[in-house]
A and B are shown apart, each in its own frame.
Chain A
Amino acid sequence: EADIYQTPRYLVIGTGKKITLECSQTMGHDKMYWYQQDPGMELHLIHYSYGVNSTEKGDLSSESTVSRIRTEHFPLTLESARPSHTSQYLCASSEYSASQETQYFGPGTRLLVL
């Protein structure tokens, strides 16, 4: 079982504010992911990273940015929050393996932008 942490768990913020959602894992996993999920809806991949200094945009267009300076840390930043960013943000990590890769999820951050 992976140890993966997200902070804050809940965030209410006003429009236009800059926010950073934190994600860290202690398993030394190379790959990390950010997903966005609205209530009752499917997961959408917004960013991923294969390792330090490697980041890629996912399938869902997002106004957020990410960085991967350390293996264990993969923060997501919104420069200017908008009500359309209200959602749940899930971070995941996995060991890199060509054939067998299992993603483990953090507890998520629920974001409400007023």
Chain B
Amino acid sequence: QKEVEQNSGPLSVPEGAIASLNCTYSDRVSQSFFWYRQYSGKSPELIMSIYSNGDKEDGRFTAQLNKASQYVSLLIRDSQPSDSATYLCAVRTGGFKTIFGAGTRLFVKA
């Protein structure tokens, strides 16, 4: 079992829809959770971080964390074609290592 798991996709949504990206992790004492966006050929760019259970909103992005279920998600509202990218989930584990998932490819169709 990988320490951080994501569905590789591709996830395809129409423009204006809500895109839902999911991530599970294995280390129960993980403390910090991050979502990065990576365009093809570019480096990862941090878009959200979340540390406490519940929701955290930033513009069209909402991160959701459920530590009991070891689950973190990213919702993108009003999806735009420019949101088409690979989204990486990263988890800072109890051992103070940051583990990246393999990423979910998102396509937003115009």
- Least CB distance, A33 to chain B, in whole angstroms: 8
Are the CB atoms of B44 and A90 closer together than 8 Å? yes
Chain B positions 53 through 91: 1 when the CB is less than 8 Å from some CB of chain A, otherwise 0: 000000000000000000000000000000000101010
Known: A100-B32, A102-B49. A108 touches B92 (CB 8 A): no
> How far is it, in angstroms, between the C-alpha of A5 and the C-alpha of B42 when the chains are bound?
13
Are the CB atoms of A101 and B98 closer together than 8 Å? yes
Are the CB atoms of A102 and B103 closer together than 8 Å? no
Are the CB atoms of B100 and A42 closer together than 8 Å? yes
Q: Specify which chain B residues have a CB less than 8 angstroms from the CB of A34 in the assembled complex.
A: none
Q: Specify which chain B residues have a CB less than 8 angstroms from the CB of A39 in the assembled complex.
A: 41
Known: A42-B100, A42-B102. A105 touches B32 (CB 8 A): no
- Interface: B107 (CB within 8 A): no
A75-110 interface with B by 8 A CB criterion: 90, 94, 98-108, 110
Are the CB atoms of A105 and B101 closer together than 8 Å? no
- Least CB distance, A91 to chain B, in whole angstroms: 9
Are the CB atoms of B43 and A100 closer together than 8 Å? no
